[in-house]
Amino acid sequence: MFEKITPQPLFASTIWIHHLKAEVAGPLNQHLARQIDRLISPKPPRAPGETWQTEARLHTLPEFSDLTALFMTAAKGVLEKLEIDYGEFEITGCWANVNPKGGIHPVHNHPNNYLSGVYYVQIPPGADAIQFHDPRHQPTLIAPRIKNYNAYNSIAAHARARPGQMILFPAWLVHSVDPNPSDEVRISISFNIMFSDYVQRMSYPKWDGIALERHKNTGG
Ligand SMILES: [Fe+2]
């Protein structure tokens, strides 16, 4: 009856997965793991489920400059794909996460930024996923049982976390990480990106009003 049916997903919440070349990722990850271990040692005690996190200013440390250069290049590429009219952007926060066995990241987003990202340094077996959650509230109101989950009916989706892989995503996109089942730590580095000149360049209304200059010489 129908010549064809064409599903057209609307308003995509796109994540941008970047795969570093193995010959670059190998030595970089060894270096990063050493630096992060130095920064968090001696490790303060953690309750079950908790994780170690550094301060959020790794991007100011020279030991992380190669990585932050990669973050900037990746973010520039994503902003170009999004065709955003911007002037400058910067990393506003960058921190390492070290999940021991059982360590999680509960559901959260990254407020006050435009893009966020995560780079994977060390991923033990079974700890290789990040969950992204549907930002729409409507699908949870009428929520029938699902026979098979697919791209059209799911309200959560995971992306694979692999060493040397970086995922950029909208900072508002809610995400979480399940418990690390391994005795080996899971190491990732998170970062945020925001426009440096947001107020000056980007916040003025997008519409044009009646020009104020018309009243310049009339005292009106
Ligand atoms: Fe996060």
- Tens of pLDDT, residue by residue over 119-136, are 999 999 999 999 999 999
Asked if the structure places residue 207 within a domain, the reply is no
Distance in Å, CA 175 to ligand 1 centroid: 6
Distance 206 CA to ligand 1 centre (A): 30
CB 197, CB 154: distance < 8 Å:
no
Around Cβ 97, how many Cβ atoms within 10 Å? 20
Burial of 173 (0-12, 13-18, 19+ CB in 10 A): middle
Compute the distance from residue 18 Cα to the ligand 1 centre, in Å: 17
Residue 157 located in a structural domain: yes
Kindly give the distance from the C-alpha atom of residue 110 to the centroid of ligand 1, in angstroms, as a whole number: 6
- Determine, yes or no, domain membership for 112: yes
What pLDDT score does 163 carry? 98
Nearest to 168, CA basis, from 11, 13, 17: 17
Give residue 213's pLDDT.
85
- Per the structure, the count of domains in the chain is 1
Question: What pTM did the predictor assign?
Answer: 0.93
User: Do the domain assignments include residue 28?
Assistant: yes
Q: How many Cβ atoms sit within 10 Å of the Cβ of residue 46?
A: 14
Residues of the chain short of pLDDT 70, as ranges, are 217-220
| 145 within some domain | no
> Does 117 fall in a domain?
yes
Ligand 1 centroid – CA 160 distance (Å): 15
Measured in Å, residue 41 CA sits from the centre of ligand 1 at 23
Judge residue 114's burial from the number of C-beta atoms within 10 Å of its C-beta, 0-12 exposed, 13-18 middle, 19 or more buried: buried
The pLDDT tens digits of the residues spanning 70-93 come to: 999 999 999 999 999 999 999 999
Domain of 82, in residue numbers = 16-42+49-134+153-197
pLDDT of the residue at 71: 98
End-to-end CA distance of the chain: 67
Q: β-strand 52-53 against 89-99: which pairing, if any?
A: antiparallel
118 inside domain: yes
Task: Count CA within 13 A, CB hemisphere, residue 77.
Answer: 14
Pairing of strands 175-177, 165-170: unpaired
* pLDDT number for residue 150: 94
166: how many CB neighbours lie within 10 A of its CB?
Answer: 21
Rounded CA-CA distance 81/75 in Å is 10
Q: The domain that contains 58 carries what CATH number? A: 2.60.120.620
Give distance in angstroms: CA of 43 to centre of ligand 1: 21
Structural domain contains residue 217: no
**In the prediction, which pLDDT does 93 show?**
98
Q: 108 CA to middle of ligand 1, Å?
A: 6
Give the Cα separation of 105 and 177 in Å (integer): 5
